[in-house]
Amino acid sequence: MSKVWPHIIYLLSTGMLVLVALELLFRFTFSDPENYWSYRFSFISVAAFENRGEGFWTFRPHTTVREVAVYAVASPSQFKTDFVVESDCRTNSNNLGLLQRDDIEAGSAATVILGDSFTEGQGGCPWFDRLQSHRKNDRLVNGGLMGTGFEQWRRLVAYLQRRGVDLKGLLAIAISDDFKRGTWNWSRAQVICLNHGPCPQEADANLWQPLADDESQDTLLARAAARFANRYPGSESRAWLDMLFEQYSYLYKFSGRAAATLRGVIAKHAHAAGVRAENVAALDSLKRIGIPFQVLMVPQRGEINLLADHPDADAAIVVLKDHSIPYRWCRLSEHDFMPYDGHPNRAGYDKIAACADSALGRLEQSTRGAVALR
């Protein structure tokens, strides 16, 4: 028996070295492809949203909007869960309930920039007014609404037309998820939570919760810790260990992705790369308005490295090509995203603003000739 132990120790040591080597290889070769939404706790100003019709909403007009994202983070050095404020952003809505400094009055000739939370500016904070300041001679409308897609943007355009906005051009800043999203409104429970409070703990699953404009970050960290305990009841050590592997081990991240891909190949459906028919119809509808219209594609965090997962992006590009929608890519790197959140940081949004500026220039040129697809 004594002769067996050296072999066992050798195998265990070799296996450990291989795992460490693979971990280092993945860590230094690839960027983190994951988002950590399940560990995010979101807070926003009281009464921030307003449903305006079926499958359509805006922010409440002329209000200050503060958005805070707190993340639960596994601390390996202290063997405990920490809570960090990932972002704390303030902005204002205009008369149309859109996040920008300037009001848009009836009769204004404007170019509308459609988009989701990347256009709204979650994470690295709103960037639209910087673009407007750079293009002083253009009237721009910030159509960025979190979690929305093309059909919801079509409804936003119709709303703007009803409010008397004279459309000069349309630029959609899109991620691949936008092609898969359906229209939606804020639920009754969410509206009650944000407008009146208190918010029921059992309905916590990533709901936004209200905050005061002057509420301290320390208070929000304490509130996030209480929500974390409610979201992950039971073994605190188990929740911490799960977070540790998910947030720090690149071998764990990519092994999970490889296993999911293998299961998909075996089942002959690698990914549900879906494009909603209503969003395809919305693209055609926006094109038929007859004004310059382009799409600026932005990669998501999990789509930027060699092991990137991009069947949804591929499917989106096929739709754009099939329907002759002019588009370009705005390329981001791993350094352009928040540490935990899936949204861009300030540097990433500066890149998106620069790409949008170039795209707006191409929109002007498109009135004088065709714009090639890229």
Give CA–CA dist 201/109, Å, rounded.
46
DSSP 115-156: ESHHHHTTTT---HHHHHHH-TTS-EEEEE-TT--HHHHHHH
Q: Does the residue 233 lie in any domain? A: no
Q: Does the residue 53 lie in any domain? A: yes
Strand ranges (E), the chain = 40-45, 49-53, 56-59, 64-75, 80-92, 109-115, 140-144, 166-174, 209-211, 293-297, 327-329
Q: Does the residue 244 lie in any domain? A: no
Give CA–CA dist 188/186, Å, rounded.
7
The predicted model gives 296-322 an average pLDDT of 86
* pLDDT tens string 255-282: 766 666 566 555 544 444 679 999 999 9
Q: Is 63 helix (H, G, I), strand (E, B) or coil?
A: coil
Give CA–CA dist 99/357, Å, rounded.
18
Residue range(s) defining the domain that contains residue 20:
1-30
Q: What is the CATH number of the domain that holds 308?
A: 3.40.50.1110
| Residue 261 confidence (pLDDT) | 59
Q: Does the residue 359 lie in any domain? A: yes
The verdict on 166 and 297 lying in the same domain is: yes
Out of 80-94, 256-270, 300-314, give the one with best mean pLDDT.
Answer: 80-94
Task: Tally the domains of the chain.
Answer: 2
The verdict on 133 and 277 lying in the same domain is: yes
Q: Does the residue 261 lie in any domain? A: no
Q: What is the mean pLDDT of the chain?
A: 87
* pLDDT tens string 154-180: 999 999 999 999 999 999 999 999 999
The verdict on 41 and 22 lying in the same domain is: no
The verdict on 9 and 132 lying in the same domain is: no
Q: Does the residue 139 lie in any domain? A: yes
The predicted model gives 63-88 an average pLDDT of 92
The verdict on 143 and 82 lying in the same domain is: yes
